[in-house]
Every structure is written in C-alpha cells, then in structure tokens.
Amino acid sequence: MLKTMCGPLIGIFVALASGVAQTPAVSQGALQVSVADSSGAALAAASVRYSRLPGKTVAAGGQLLPAPGEASVTGQSAADTNGNLTVGGLAPGAYAVCASVPGAPYLDPCIWRQPVRVTVSGGATAVQPLTLTKGVFLNVQVDDPAGLLGTPSAGVWDRPKLLIGVMYGNGAYQGLQLASASATQRAYQLAIPTGVAFTLRLFSRDVAVSDESGAAVDVSGSRIGFLGAPGQDLTFEFKVSGAIAK
C-alpha cells in the first residue's frame, strides 16, 4: 500500500514545485526625475522624495493603511549637478514625488500644492520633470537665556514646549522646522510663497514669550500678520521670558 501511494504523491509534489517555479516574478521599474526652477535652470543637489501610493487600502484604527500584499516604498535622495535623479528597482504603481533645495527657498509641492503623481511600470523608466517656484525664507529666532525649552527631542510622542507655525488661506496651518538649537537659542525656518497673507502663530503651555520690544506674546495662539515680498527673507525675534505657572 505504501509503495502504491508514493508514486502519485511524488508526482503531486513535483507538479506543485513546477507550478511555483513557473510563476512569473513582478518586473520592477525605474523613476527618472529632473528638477528645475521656473526659468528652466537645473537645481543641483535638490532633495527628491518619493513614495508609492497603495492601490488598495484597509481601514485600521481610524487610518487607511496599505492592504496586505501592497508594496510599501519610500525614499529620498539628492539630484546630481544637472538636477537629475534616477532610482531603479521600484515596484510598479503610482508614486508621489516631491522636492526641495537645501539652503534655498524653493517651494516644496508637498507642502504648498499637491505632490506630483507619476506611474511607474514594470520594465520601464518613468520620466517626471519637477518645476519648483522660488519663495522666501521665514526665519524665527527664539532666545532662551534660562534654557527653559530644554533639549529638543525627536521622539514621536514628545511634545515640544514651543510650537511655531503659520496660518493662511481658509485656516490652513504649516509648522516651521527647527533649523538649529543650542542651550540658549533656537532657530526655526520655512520657505514660504510671496504675495500670500500669513499669520504667525506661537503656542506654548510651558513658557512665556516676549517680542523684540519686550511686550508679552499671546502663546495661546498669537496672531501676527505679515506678507512676504519677492527676494526679501523675513525674520522675527522672540525671547523666552519665563515659565508659565501651573
């Protein structure tokens, strides 16, 4: 009986193994991005970010997550001196592409417009030009002589003791990035478009803040209006004047 069954079983295993071996692999693709300014001049060393958009999603914990089997791909790299970047080995699908230029106030489409969307196909190279508009830098300097803001933390759940951002349009909000920090001073920066009415907002439950004249700033949500002009960076200076009693 055992001898009789071995033959058919071996045949089944061979057939299964043969079927697996014959399953075609998903062909990967590539993405070629060229970054330039509005005049067409290449933006050397632009920082390009790309992220695959899942074709199918599932709801979990109030969020939409990639469905099982969906490839998750994200990356960031610098363009060359001609503003070009080619990334290979990408799973086919739709990708969101964004870019910024370190040290220059070019506007990141992921922040101020919509991410550029491009489709990557297997065995092919998707070519996508990116045109970045130049804005101006908004700089905010905060003196903290007593070190009340503490050490900056990159923890996801850590709450900063001071939040700085701008509001514009119909209530849209964009936070400023911490550009540098020392024991007694912090510098925040954001590239912003010109000709747009902004409101600078400061939030804190921990420290009191004063402006350049020494006047107290409402840290429950200050409203300092300003408008950016082409070619003119903006700078605001504040000082941490003490701790908020709790």
pLDDT digits 0-9 by tens, 142-189: 999 999 998 877 655 678 899 999 999 989 999 999 999 999 999 999
- Strands annotated E in the chain: 29-37, 47-53, 57-60, 63-66, 74-78, 84-90, 93-100, 116-120, 125-132, 136-143, 163-168, 172-175, 177-181, 185-192, 197-203, 207-210, 216-217, 224-227, 234-243
pLDDT digits (tens, 9 = 90+) for 55-90: 888 888 778 778 888 888 999 999 999 999 999 999
Cβ atoms 113, 17 nearer than 8 A: no
* Residue among 240, 237, 241 at smallest CA distance from 141: 237
- Report d(CA 16, CA 14) in Å as an integer: 5
Against a cut of 0.95, is the pTM above it?
no
Greatest distance between any 2 Cα atoms in the chain: 98
Q: Could you tell me which residues are beta bridge partners of residue 58?
A: 65
Q: Go through 57-89 and write b for each residue having 16 or more CB atoms within 10 A of its CB, e for each that does not.
A: eeeeeeeeeeeeebeebeeeeebeeebbbebee
pLDDT at 17: 43
* Pair 222, 190: CB distance under 8 Å: no
By the 10 Å C-beta count (0-12 exposed, 13-18 middle, 19+ buried), 200 is classed as buried
**Mean pLDDT for the chain overall:** 88
Q: 2 pLDDT exceeds 90? A: no
Residue 232 contacts residue 105 (beta carbons within 8 Å):
no
Domains along the chain? 29-132 (2.60.40.1120), 136-243 (2.60.40)
The answer to whether the beta carbons of residues 218 and 177 sit under 8 Å apart is: no
